[in-house]
Structure 1
Amino acid sequence: MHKVKTRLMDGDDVDRSLARMAMQIVEHNHGVENLAIIGIHTGGVYLAQRIQALIQEQFGINLPTGSLDITLYRDDWSLVAQNPVVKKTTLDFALKDKVVVLVDDVVYTGRTIRAALDALMDLGRPRCIQLAALVDRGGRELPIQADYTGLDVQVGPGEHVHVLLREHDGADEVVLTEA
């Protein structure tokens, strides 16, 4: 059982961070031409949809948005579960020449993102891949860095960051827990 140590973000903080990240994505890419948003299952999918909606609301453009399952691309999938639950990858657009913004809820070791990069390359060759993460908790094992983050926090041994989202958990909240 994990004990909540502190709340890092509430719903307003999450909304503000996503709005800022959406604006940074547009500014960094000098607009939205050839831009696509892809969320990593599960939390990243909800966040990608929200970022897409914020950009659509601001600019009136419906960006291609998809979801990516990386279960079988993980280097630890056999350690996590004997029968992994594979979710659906949904990309209703070609990756060729797209600037893909890959979205996840938390970036930690970098292994999830490495798996996502492998999965994307099997599906096509985008012009560029950028990374957006609501929380960067440090502790990288691979040289992967988020381009856009909502919160950077250093997490100690035995501590975990949990992102709760209204689509799945009923409310938005980011909490730090300890065993």
Structure 2
Amino acid sequence: MSTSSTVVEILSAEEMRRTINRLASEVVEQGGDLSSLVLLGIHTRGVPLAHLLAQQIQRLEGVALPVGALDITLYRDDLDKISTRTPARTDISFDITAKVVVLVDDVLFSGRTIRAALNAVIDYGRPSAIRLAVLIDRGHRELPIRPDFVGKSLPTAKDESVKVFVQDVDGRDGVELLKG
């Protein structure tokens, strides 16, 4: 018996662009003093998303925010359950102490990636606050983690998967839901 799966487009490239623009506006509105704000993208797709947010914030406000890249592989509590991968390079070339750090990721699911990211951030300094921006929040939290900025809330079944495509990584932009 064969299993079939269905792919459903959740965000087209244009809808994704508009969603990122809205997220950037929300970060500006709630971010307070932009001179104390920094963006940290979580590898893999959170990094280009953080850069897209920073570009849009610069267009809106004329302020170039520092953007860093955070790899959380070695901070995960489920290394025995995920496929082995070579850690990416964490790149934080600025001081995050006393800054408002906005963690940026593509999909929020169980919360375990964000828990690992929080531990990693603390190894690099003591921010005044840490906020979370995600493109997709699909629910099913295992930890008490809630995003501050959400592009799209997408209720899903646990056996479904959400795939974010980013031009810099995948050659196209968009979000798809894989059912079945």
Q: Please report how far the alpha carbon of residue 170 of structure 1 lies from its aligned counterpart in structure 2 after TM superposition.
A: 1.4
1:132 is the counterpart of 2:133: yes
RMSD of aligned residue pairs (Cα, Å): 1.4
Q: Please report how far the alpha carbon of residue 157 of structure 1 lies from its aligned counterpart in structure 2 after TM superposition.
A: 3.2
Cα-to-partner distance string for 1:19-72 (whole Å, 9 max, x where unaligned): 010010010023412000000000000100000011112222111110000000
Secondary structure of 1:142's aligned partner:
coil
1:61 is the counterpart of 2:66: no
1:72 equivalent in structure 2: 74
Contact 1:2 1:177 in 2 (8 A): no
Cα-to-partner distance string for 1:81-121 (whole Å, 9 max, x where unaligned): 3x531100000111111000000000000000000000001
Instruction: Output the CA distance in 2 between the equivalents of 1:73 and 1:173.
Output: 28
TM-score, reference length from structure 1: 0.95
1:86 equivalent in structure 2: 87
Mapping 1:23-38, distance limit 5 Å = 23-38=25-40
Q: Identity of paired residues, percent?
A: 42
Mapping 1:167-178, distance limit 5 Å = 167-178=168-179
Gaps of 5+ in 2: none
2:163 equivalent in structure 1: 162
2:113 equivalent in structure 1: 112
Most deviating of 22-31 and 95-104: 22-31
Secondary structure of 1:78's aligned partner:
coil
1:22 equivalent in structure 2: 24
Q: Please report how far the alpha carbon of residue 4 of structure 1 lies from its aligned counterpart in structure 2 after TM superposition.
A: 3.5
1:8 equivalent in structure 2: 10
Secondary structure of 2:104's aligned partner:
strand
Gaps of 5+ in 1: none
TM-score, reference length from structure 2: 0.94
* 4+ long deviations beyond 2 Å: 1-5
Most deviating of 104-113 and 72-81: 72-81
Does the C-alpha gap of structure 1 residues 2 and 139 become closer, same or farther in structure 2, counting only changes over 3 Å? Answer: farther
2:123 equivalent in structure 1: 122
Secondary structure of 2:39's aligned partner:
strand
1:51 equivalent in structure 2: 53
2:43 equivalent in structure 1: 41
Instruction: Output the CA distance in 1 between the equivalents of 2:136 and 2:44.
Output: 15
1:153 is the counterpart of 2:166: no
Does the C-alpha gap of structure 1 residues 2 and 48 become closer, same or farther in structure 2, counting only changes over 3 Å? Answer: farther
Instruction: Output the CA distance in 2 between the equivalents of 1:2 and 1:70.
Output: 33
